[in-house]
Structure 1
Amino acid sequence: MTRTAPHPRTAVVACATYLPSTLRTTAETEERLRVENPTLTLPTGLIRRITGVENVHVAGPEAQASDLAVAAARRALEQSPGEVDLLIFASGSQDLIEPATSHIVSERLGTRCAVFDVKNACNSMLNGMQVADALLAAGQYRRALIVTGEVPSYAVRWRVDSREQFLRSFGGYTMSDGGAAVILEAGEAESPEPSGGRGILGSRFLARSEHWGVGTIPAGGTVNPHSEGGAYFDMDGAALQAAFASVGVGLVAETLASIGYGVDDLDFVALHQVARPYHDRIVEVLGVDPERTLLTVAEHGNLASATLPFQLAEARAAGRVGPGGLVALVGLAAGISLGAMVIRL
């Protein structure tokens, strides 16, 4: 029998988040919409009933995406002190079109390392970890800091000129500001088996880009370089949900099967969450024990690319998963894209 060579693993040595302390309740969101749109008919509690969201975090009016990323990064570096030789800013938000926001984060942190940005909507952080994992496994770097700073509150449309525009802006009312940081470290070969060892065991990603137009912030690029009309969420929620439903979440089972595991082997599953009903449906389809997930969208809103590291950090802090635990991170993003990553802590 031919034995495969030992597989080096990229270990997750730190995971930290930062959420602004200011909360905006869904009731306050609805009240502001009524005040700014006197002709808008908005039944009391509509947003909460549809999405299950009670609160969202809101950064200050001067806050930048880099501010939230830096705050989370400092917490991660407290968990695992030491120099990093790669810094990736992985976020749907950004400070400027140029330069890459990673430069701003690096300057603030005082690091002297290679930097670049990764951008893929709510899957940005997961894709950033994917890229860092590959670079560490290739031996190009030893220790990578992947950060996100999401400030979607800047893209909320408060004044709407029609019911249709309100519905296309709906997703923004449940988006939350936040930062997250993960430190990955190159590990030694630990096991000759694909499923063995601590670290990132496997990941898979796919995209169905024919659906890119159902969820956008159509400003700031070459299509609308000067953001005429403003940089606001524009989303066909029903079409986005239908697109995700048509793709399904079989990617998760495929990723687990490729390393010799099944859903029942997982100790914790972090799922991207846009609304309570959609979260519950994904849990059901995956066949995951709900007790092995963590509902965050109700109290914290949709944290965009910070969602998965936030859930992982919260689960670890609560003792729901610890060293040796098997974790899956499941990402869903506009575009649309899906991703699954399995980690042994």
Structure 2
Amino acid sequence: MLGSTTGHSRIAGLEIYLPPERLDTSAVERRITESSPGFRVPKGFIQRVTGIRSRSVMADSEQASDLAVHAAAKVLASCGLQAPDVDLLIFASASQDMVEPATAHMAAAKLGLACPVMDVKNACNSFLNGLEVADSLIAAGRYSRVLVVSGEAPSRAVRWTVRDFATFASSFPGYTMSDGGAAVLLESAGNNGDGPVSNPEGILASAFTAQSSYWSVGTLAAGGSAHPRDPEASYFSMDGEKLKDAFLDLGCEVLDSTLAGLDLEWSDFAVVCVHQVSAPYRDIFAERAGVPKELLVPTVEDCGNLASVSLPLQLRTALDTGRCGPGDLVALVGLAGGVSLGMVVVRL
């Protein structure tokens, strides 16, 4: 379904936080082998399959909320804002500190905020859906300035001891994942003066689709009512082939219809940020969707799969390298377990 097309909110600030500790893929393979008597990962296998060379790992003392807070503090500082200037905090992430209360409360407390808060959760599309919610609330006049933050901590759910190749394969997503935080400050486009009606600034459209019958293809089941205390449910479990089939079943119609509704083509964009679970699948998906390869922002090779932080990381990278700037069109294309597909179109 196509969302707002009037540029009600704009991105006033965007920051990323990646923990300084790095873990390369060869070290991942060694740790699995050393922790798994009778099982050995073929040397170089994970990098050959995923293209991932390295990832970030959070400190033992850190929580998902801390990663989000690091990025959020940078955003507030770069925008010259204080805690009272934020009207709403949305914590939008696949990860969470605990089941209850909302992790947004922990993040807000650490930032010294006293505004309303909420969590938005939809696997790797959490941050994208957080932008959609924030933009809609700003368009409705409920809030003028919303801080959307994410803290992804998948390293806490990696299975290091495996019995056989079947267990290794179902746990494989964990070996691609990386920890990190992101924060975007959205504010009413009117706060900075509206651009020309024919060339509006801000979020121009958001659109999402889902095929929820595939929810069981990939899970991290611990902590909910289904598996409240089962240690085996505390690790990633996924059928990679079935997940690929699920995304193929979704198709790209939601992307095509969004572009058509805005009278745009991929060539009109400075960059197209696509969620990256691996380098090969990024390229396959982009080709199927018709996205020119030169518009992509490769990050998974050196940063791993950052779940919902993947898209803001790519946009921050594109900004820092001069690939996009004020007035440019950018697209954020998200894929997530469940499964869902969506896109947010922004004019910077």
Provide TM-score, normalisation by structure 2.
Answer: 0.94
Structure 1 residue 339 and structure 2 residue 338: aligned?
no
Alignment of structure 1 residues 39-188 onto 2, 5 Å: 39-82=38-81, 83-188=85-190
Q: Which residue in the other structure is 2:292 paired with?
A: 289
Structure 2 SS opposite 1:339 = strand
In the alignment, what sits opposite 1:224? Answer: 227
Matched, 1:242 2:245: yes
Q: Cα deviations across residues 82-101 of structure 1 (Å, max 9, x unaligned)?
A: 21101000001101111111
> C-alpha separation between the residues in 1 aligned to 2:100 and 2:339?
25
The SS at the match of 1:206 is: strand
CA offset at residue 79 of structure 1?
Answer: 2.0
Contact 2:220-2:233 within 8 A present in 1 as well: no
**1:38 CA drift (Å):** 2.7
Identify unmatched segments of 5+ residues in structure 2: none
How many aligned residue pairs are there? 338
The worse-fitting range, judged by mean Cα deviation, of 62-71 and 254-263 is 254-263
Q: CA deviation at 1:228?
A: 3.5
Residue 330 in 1 paired to residue 333 in 2?
yes
Match of 2:274 in 1: 271
Deviates more, 1:151-160 or 1:38-47: 38-47
Letter in 1 for 2:10: A
* In structure 2, distance between residues paired with 1:207 and 1:288: 21
Verify: 1:311 aligned to 2:330, yes or no: no
The DSSP-based 3-state class of the residue aligned with 2:264 is coil
1:85–1:113 contact (8 Å) kept in structure 2: yes
Identity %: 48
| Cα offsets for 1:114-161 (capped at 9, x unmatched) | 100000000000000000000000000000000000000000001112
Moved more, 256-265 or 243-252: 243-252
- Report the Cα distance in structure 2 between the residues aligned to 1:230 and 1:120, rounded to whole angstroms: 19
Whether the 8 Å CA contact 1:27–1:45 is kept in 2: the answer is: yes
Structure 1 alignment gaps of length 5 or more:
1-5
Contact 1:9–1:190 (Cα < 8 Å) also in 2: no
Displacement after TM superposition at 1:32 (Å): 0.8
Cα root mean square deviation, aligned: 1.3
- TM-score w.r.t. the length of structure 1 is 0.95
1:3 maps to what in 2?
A: none
* Cα deviation, residue 229, structure 1: 2.5
Which letter maps to 1:120?
N
Q: Tell me how far apart the structure 1 counterparts of residues 43 and 100 of structure 2 sit (CA, whole Å).
A: 42
Q: Which amino acid aligns with 1:300?
A: C
Tell me if the contact between 1:199 and 1:343 (Cα under 8 Å) persists in the aligned partners. yes
Q: For residues 232 and 303 of structure 2, what CA distance do their matches in structure 1 show?
A: 29
Q: What displacement does 1:218 show?
A: 1.1
Letter in 1 for 2:181: G
Q: SS in structure 2 opposite 1:229?
A: helix
Once the two structures are TM-superposed, the CA of residue 8 in structure 1 deviates from its matched residue by: 4.9
